[in-house]
Every structure is written in structure tokens, then in C-alpha cells.
């Protein structure tokens, strides 16, 4: 691990001022991702700005019925919060499906959003990786690709985004608030993460000197009937092969509202806009669910070891929507 300077920030203003003057600085909250990357010599900050003492730990109901979540809220606390469990069960389920209890106790909301890929070629400094070293190539092509993306990849990178929480946030129309010395910005979660294109090392829309301060969830009545389904190689502490975050409302025999996002298959948390478009106004049948799922996965580009993800994703979408329908998505 490279030697680094350490700054403890008591508040947001101090934190953003500290990083504004240090172009190679990094914020650290729970440290569950950054510390690993520093140990592997992948992240090499000159300065670490500790934000763990900043009071961004509230989960507050907004006037319009939405919820504001502080960036330093621990994942375990968020999953257990009554407002989240009652209004956005898909988010609580997604968080509980991720990592281990010990990691959830340390990991923060802001850190989860900013976590980097778990692609083994990214972590292996002997391998070529455009995300780690731009222009070096991508050894995933021709390598083992069971856990890689089939949607949103490029000729430069096919790494999958690892977060469970972000898949639920994408389905819920979450907005990320960031702050710097220039002021405050609000970024829709679905626009926060970037597809790799020719610049896979540029992973998000946040600037190096901006700090995530909060995530806001809109009032979304359909979210009370929502579910997160994760398919993985083992029952605990495994990243998704495929995951689905879904919310469904049926009125008078047709789909009135639907939210759908996918994990494990995309280069970023994947909002299933095409599937939603086809489902809206359709009869909630297995046939319509299958047609929408197939349309969403139609652009998928598979590698030799992950072609199974396409059918698995389609089946998981259908199963999740059917489960929601049976659980009370109809009115």
C-alpha cells in the first residue's frame, strides 16, 4: 500500500475544501471497497479524507411522502429502517441480499453507490484492464466471463456493476445529491453511472472533488408492492449472476404502473425501460411478461461463458413479476 496523508473532516464544508486542494485525494467512509483497492495497489491516493464523523446519518420523511437518506447511513441500518421496509421493501431486500452482515454494518449508502467493479481482471495487476489502466486492453475478452455483463458493454470493457442496492435505487427513481466547493448538484441514479464506451475508467458522473451527501427517493405508491430477486452461485456473500428489482400495480386487468431494473447483467445498474414500455397497459399475463423480458434482453451481447445469463434474466423477470402479481399487485 502506498503511503498517504490523512485528514479527518468534521463536516461537509471541511471535507469538500480539503479535497478541492488535493487532486489525488479520496474520501473514505466505511472503507469496505476503498481499503481493499488500496491494499491491491489499484487505488493510490496521496490523501485520504475521512468523512466517517460527518452527521449524514439521517433517514427522514419528506413533505411530499418521499424519503431522504444521508450518505453515511450504514447499509444494515437502512435495510432495517421502518420507512424503507414499509414504503420501499425492494430496497431493504436488495441491501440484505448483498455482502455479509459484517460488511453491511460498515458499508455506507454513498460508498455503495461509488463501489467499483469486482471483475477479476480489474483486481489482477498482471492482467490488461482498460478500467484500471486506460488503453492497456481487456483480458476479459477471451478469458473467463461467467460474471461479466451482457448489456451495456463495449469493445473496451464488459465488467458488470456489482451493487445490489443500486439496482433497487434505479427502479425507484432515486436521485443522488452531491456537493463540492462549487455548490450542490442532483443527479438521477439512472444517469449517475456511465456505460464504459471507450472510457471505462470514467465510471460515474461525479467529479473527483464532489461528495455524495444524500439520496432521495420520491413518493412512489407502487413501491409498496415491490420485490428484489437475486440469482447467484451460492446463498450468501456472492455477487448476482442476475438480479431483478421490480414493482407492479395492476388496475382493471391491465398494468397501471411498473418499475423494473436488472443487476448482474449490466455494465451499470440497468433500468429496463423497454420492458416497462411494453408492460404498461398490457394484461398481466405470463405471455406479456415473457415478451417484455425478451425485448429488454434483445440487445444483449454474450461471451462464451455468460450466454446463459440472457435466458436466466428473462426467466427471473417473469418469475419476479408473477410473484408480485400473486402477492397483491392487482386492484
β partners of residue 178: 185, 212
Give the pLDDT confidence of 219-254 residue by residue, as tens digits: 999 999 999 999 999 988 899 999 999 999 999 999
Spell out the long-range contacts of 138-142 with Cβ–Cβ below 8 A and sequence spacing 24 or more. 140/303, 141/303
pLDDT band, very low/low/confident/very high, at 22 (cuts 50, 70, 90) = confident
% pLDDT > 90, the chain: 95
Give the pLDDT confidence of 55-70 residue by residue, as tens digits: 999 999 999 999 999 9
3-state secondary structure of 111: helix
| Pairing between β-strand 47-50 and β-strand 25-28 as defined by DSSP bridges | parallel
Q: Which residue has the cell 456493476?
A: 161
On whether the CB atoms of residues 107 and 79 are closer than 8 A, the answer is no
The backbone torsions φ and ψ at residue 262, rounded to the nearest 5 degrees and listed phi first, read -120, 145
Domains in the chain: boundaries:
5-53, 225-329
On whether the CB atoms of residues 158 and 149 are closer than 8 A, the answer is yes
CATH class, 5-53 region: alpha beta
Burial 47-65 (b: 16+ CB within 10 A, else e): bbbbbeebebeebeeeeee
Q: What share of the chain is helix, strand, coil (3-state, %, to 5)?
A: 30, 25, 45
pLDDT mean over 18-47: 93
What CATH number has the domain spanning 225-329?
3.30.390.50
Measured between its terminal Cα atoms, the distance across the chain in Å is 57
Model confidence pTM above 0.85: yes
Give the pLDDT confidence of 75-124 residue by residue, as tens digits: 999 999 999 999 999 999 999 999 888 999 999 999 999 999 999 999 99
Give the pLDDT confidence of 264-287 residue by residue, as tens digits: 999 999 999 999 999 999 999 999
- Three cell numbers, residue 328: 397483491
Angle at 68 between CA 181 and CA 248, to 5 degrees: 130
| Nearest-10 crossing angle of helices 286-297, 308-324 | 140
C-alpha atoms less than 13 angstroms from C-alpha of 285 in its C-beta half-sphere: 6
- Three cell numbers, residue 8: 479527518
Element housing 215 (H / E): strand 211-217
Amino acid at each position: 500500500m502506498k503511503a498517504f496523508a490523512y485528514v479527518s473532516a468534521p463536516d461537509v464544508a471541511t471535507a469538500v475544501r480539503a479535497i478541492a486542494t488535493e487532486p489525488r485525494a479520496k474520501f473514505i467512509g466505511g472503507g469496505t471497497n476503498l481499503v481493499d483497492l488500496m491494499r491491491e495497489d489499484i487505488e493510490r491516493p496521496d490523501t485520504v479524507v475521512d468523512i466517517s464523523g460527518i452527521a449524514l446519518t439521517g433517514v427522514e420523511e419528506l413533505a411530499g411522502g418521499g424519503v431522504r437518506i444521508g450518505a453515511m447511513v450504514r447499509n444494515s441500518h437502512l435495510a432495517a429502517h421502518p420507512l424503507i421496509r414499509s414504503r420501499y421493501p425492494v430496497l431493504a431486500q436488495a441491501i440484505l441480499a448483498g455482502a455479509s452482515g459484517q460488511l453491511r454494518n460498515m458499508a455506507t449508502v454513498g460508498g455503495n453507490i461509488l463501489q467499483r467493479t469486482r471483475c477479476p481482471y480489474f483486481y489482477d495487476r498482471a492482467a490488461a484492464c482498460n478500467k484500471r489502466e486506460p488503453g492497456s486492453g481487456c483480458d476479459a475478452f477471451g478469458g473467463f466471463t461467467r460474471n461479466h455483463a451482457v448489456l451495456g458493454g463495449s469493445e473496451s470493457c464488459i465488467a458488470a456493476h456489482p451493487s445490489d442496492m443500486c439496482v433497487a435505487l434505479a427502479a425507484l427513481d432515486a436521485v443522488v445529491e452531491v456537493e463540492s466547493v462549487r455548490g450542490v448538484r442532483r443527479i438521477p441514479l439512472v444517469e449517475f453511472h456511465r456505460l464504459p464506451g471507450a472510457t471505462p475508467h470514467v465510471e460515474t458522473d461525479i467529479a473527483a472533488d464532489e461528495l455524495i451527501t444524500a439520496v432521495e427517493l420520491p413518493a412512489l405508491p407502487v413501491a409498496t408492492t415491490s420485490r428484489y430477486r437475486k440469482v447467484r452461485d451460492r446463498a450468501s456473500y456472492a455477487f448476482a449472476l442476475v438480479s431483478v428489482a421490480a414493482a407492479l400495480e395492476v388496475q382493471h386487468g391491465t398494468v397501471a404502473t411498473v418499475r423494473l431494473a436488472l443487476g448482474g447483467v449490466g455494465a451499470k445498474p440497468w433500468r429496463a425501460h423497454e420492458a416497462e414500455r411494453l408492460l404498461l397497459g398490457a394484461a398481466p399475463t405470463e405471455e406479456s411478461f415473457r415478451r417484455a423480458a425478451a425485448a429488454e434482453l434483445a440487445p444483449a451481447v454474450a461471451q462464451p461463458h455468460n450466454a446463459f445469463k440472457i435466458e436466466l434474466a428473462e426467466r427471473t423477470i417473469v418469475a419476479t413479476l408473477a410473484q408480485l402479481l400473486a402477492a397483491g399487485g392487482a386492484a
